[in-house]
Structure 1
Amino acid sequence: MLDLDRLRALHAIASYGSVSAAADVLHVTTSAVSQQVAKLERETGQKLLERNGRGVRLTDAAELLVGHAERILSLVEIAQADLEAHRGAVVGELDLGAFPTSARGLVPQAILRLRSEHPQLRVLLHEYDPLESLSMVARGDLDLAVLQDWNNQPLVIPEGMRKGTICDDIADVALPADHPLADRESIELKELAGDPWISSTEGTVCLGWLTHTLRAIDSEPRIEHKAYEYATQLALVGAGLGASMLPRMGRCDLPPGVRVVALRPLLTRRVYAIWREEAARRPGIRAVVEALRAVAPPAPPELTADA
């Protein structure tokens, strides 16, 4: 009989490429993961990992077993979802991924609401960029995630996932107070062509989107500074080092020397939750999505007027 925890350990190594990365995801030590794989090797009578430089690689037998493990773990999740749905109670533990502004502007209020309405449900927050969260939900390392994408560059959602809209959000531009356009009520993005920009770090949705958006107006991006947190980006704006895109949801306090100017036409992003098809019947998933919607800010007047 194959042990599920041992299959999870092997599956995590296959998904993340190393024993240490698998240990981080599974919240155990590298020694514990190695022990699980060693026991699985004894159970199967097959060698599953081989040395590959400083790391390891999966043997052919391990690759075969990982394919079965994906289906087995998926069936276990379906069984868990069906049992929870049959019971009809919002109980258990859910791992929720969220990008920074939603982790600040949505999730705390949603968790507080869930504690009151569903005290037997425990939601654990993990802050990741949307691209990371998307992959982790697909692999089963998160139960659901709050993602964002932009009206001019939507994310591709893999098959086998479900999606529920939470709210829409608008982005303005943050400028140094002494910028020639800083006192305007609104500007067109093309008026900033050639200006230096401050954006998020490499590999993030926000950096990719800003690059795409600027190139769409025939402006080759001059992204001179990169920082993950909006608070750091705004500090750089306040120092006069460039402009930054600033979504309204979860907006932090503006430091001295920063002015926020509206853009025309509007640049909007959609905030939504995703979860795996196998987990769709879990009452806890539905409860989290409903709580996120309940605490989401109302549609901005600009979007209501355009509707």
Structure 2
Amino acid sequence: MLNLDRLRTLQAVARHGSVSAAADGLHVTTSAVSQQLAKLERETGQQLLAKNGRGVRLTDAGRLLADHASRILSQVELAQADLEAQRGQAVGELSLGAFPTAARGLLPAALVRLRAEHPQLRAKLEELEPDEAVPAVMRGDLDLAVVLDWYNKPLPMPDGLVKAALLDDPADVAMPAGHPLADRDQVELEEFADDEWVSWPKGEFCHDWLMLTLRGAGIEPRICHMAEEHHTQLALIAAGLGVAVAPRLGRGPIPDGVRVVPVRHTMRRHIYAIWRADADRRPSIRAALDALRASAAEHRAAEDAA
């Protein structure tokens, strides 16, 4: 009997082109990938990988099994979707992922709605950045994820995923209350060319976006501090240690000593849900999407009333 986890590992090697890239995509060690593939070779009695310079390549048998693995894993997802669709109810478990400010600003209300409207559905949330959530959905660790991209930097989206827009989230510039621009109604990014910046950590999608956007405005950014949590960034700004981009979703109360000012040419994050195309018929996916849309609508209404 072929093991589904090992088939998923082989499929990842075929998709990413190397053991190390597959390990990154699966968020495991290269040793774990190699062990899974070795076990799969013993199960099948076939050599699935061959050395290719410093790397490896799939043998003919490996490519053949990887093709079957894609169809098998897709069929497993379809079987689950069909069973749910036949029952017509959102039941069982549903694993959700969301980046931090969405986990704080959208998911609580959505999860409460799901629990009230679908009491037999057990939804579980994991906080993940978009570059972690996308591969997690692809490999089946998550059923649905809330991710983001920016108006000028799309998030790469693999084939086989479906996405639905939830809302656009404007972002302001947060600065110390004593900053010369703190009392303005609007600002331009170019006006912060001489400021020190508080950023997301290196390697995160939003950090890369910030570098791209500031350099596009003719600013070579001086990054003084990096923090993942927006609340930490705002605390640093309240202490007078720099300025930052501050999206509104999940931002919460602004600390004393901080002012947030809109940018004249509005910066926006596009926030949407993603799931696998072969899970599209699952009532639990539809239920989660309805709950997220309702939560997004409530957030927009609160923003308009503010």
Question: Which TM-score applies when normalising by structure 1?
Answer: 0.83
Q: Are the aligned partners of 1:25 and 1:141 in contact in 2 as well (CA < 8 Å)?
A: no
Distance 1:156 1:241, change over 3 A: same
> Alignment partner of 1:187: what SS?
coil
Q: Are the aligned partners of 2:171 and 2:246 in contact in 1 as well (CA < 8 Å)?
A: yes
Residue 106 of structure 2 aligns with an amino acid whose one-letter code is: L
Q: Residue deviations 1:232-275, cap 9 Å, x none?
A: 11121122121011111111333332111122122122211011
Q: Are the aligned partners of 1:48 and 1:59 in contact in 2 as well (CA < 8 Å)?
A: yes
1:37 Cα deviation after fit: 5.8
> Alignment partner of 1:186: what SS?
coil
Partner of 2:94 in structure 1? 94
Larger CA deviation: 293-302 vs 260-269: 293-302
Q: Are the aligned partners of 2:8 and 2:139 in contact in 1 as well (CA < 8 Å)?
A: no
Larger CA deviation: 228-237 vs 2-11: 2-11
Partner of 1:77 in structure 2? 77
Larger CA deviation: 227-236 vs 129-138: 129-138
Q: Are the aligned partners of 1:12 and 1:25 in contact in 2 as well (CA < 8 Å)?
A: no
Q: Are the aligned partners of 1:169 and 1:300 in contact in 2 as well (CA < 8 Å)?
A: no
Residue 159 of structure 1 aligns with an amino acid whose one-letter code is: D
Larger CA deviation: 185-194 vs 91-100: 185-194
Partner of 1:248 in structure 2? 248
Residue 281 of structure 1 aligns with an amino acid whose one-letter code is: R
Residue 101 of structure 1 aligns with an amino acid whose one-letter code is: T
Residue 284 of structure 1 aligns with an amino acid whose one-letter code is: S
Q: Residue deviations 1:30-87, cap 9 Å, x none?
A: 7xx95x7666444312356899xxxx97873556533422221112111221221122
Residue 69 of structure 1 aligns with an amino acid whose one-letter code is: A
Rounded to whole Å, the distance in 2 between the matches of 1:25 and 1:240 is: 37
Rounded to whole Å, the distance in 2 between the matches of 1:159 and 1:59 is: 21
> Alignment partner of 1:181: what SS?
coil
Larger CA deviation: 36-45 vs 150-159: 36-45
Q: Residue deviations 1:212-248, cap 9 Å, x none?
A: 2212222222222211111111121122121011111
Partner of 1:299 in structure 2? 300
CA RMSD of aligned residues (A): 3.3
Indicate whether 1:188 and 2:195 are aligned: no
Partner of 1:227 in structure 2? 227
Rounded to whole Å, the distance in 2 between the matches of 1:255 and 1:65 is: 56
Rounded to whole Å, the distance in 1 between the matches of 2:156 and 2:250 is: 24
- In structure 1, runs of 5+ residues without a counterpart are none
Distance 1:178 1:157, change over 3 A: same
Partner of 1:216 in structure 2? 216
Rounded to whole Å, the distance in 2 between the matches of 1:302 and 1:118 is: 28
Partner of 2:139 in structure 1? 139
Rounded to whole Å, the distance in 2 between the matches of 1:218 and 1:131 is: 27
Residue 135 of structure 1 aligns with an amino acid whose one-letter code is: P
Q: Residue deviations 1:172-208, cap 9 Å, x none?
A: 1110122111122221222112321111112222112
Q: Residue deviations 1:276-295, cap 9 Å, x none?
A: 11111111111101101111
Q: Are the aligned partners of 1:98 and 1:125 in contact in 2 as well (CA < 8 Å)?
A: yes
Indicate whether 1:280 and 2:253 are aligned: no
Residue 86 of structure 1 aligns with an amino acid whose one-letter code is: Q
Q: Are the aligned partners of 1:74 and 1:278 in contact in 2 as well (CA < 8 Å)?
A: yes
Distance 1:80 1:176, change over 3 A: same
Residue 126 of structure 1 aligns with an amino acid whose one-letter code is: E
Q: Are the aligned partners of 1:98 and 1:126 in contact in 2 as well (CA < 8 Å)?
A: yes
Residue 299 of structure 1 aligns with an amino acid whose one-letter code is: R
Indicate whether 1:153 and 2:153 are aligned: yes
Residue 69 of structure 2 aligns with an amino acid whose one-letter code is: A
Distance 1:273 1:255, change over 3 A: same
1:12 Cα deviation after fit: 6.3
Rounded to whole Å, the distance in 1 between the matches of 2:126 and 2:9 is: 20
> Alignment partner of 1:266: what SS?
strand
Partner of 1:203 in structure 2? 203
Rounded to whole Å, the distance in 2 between the matches of 1:114 and 1:168 is: 23
1:114 Cα deviation after fit: 0.5
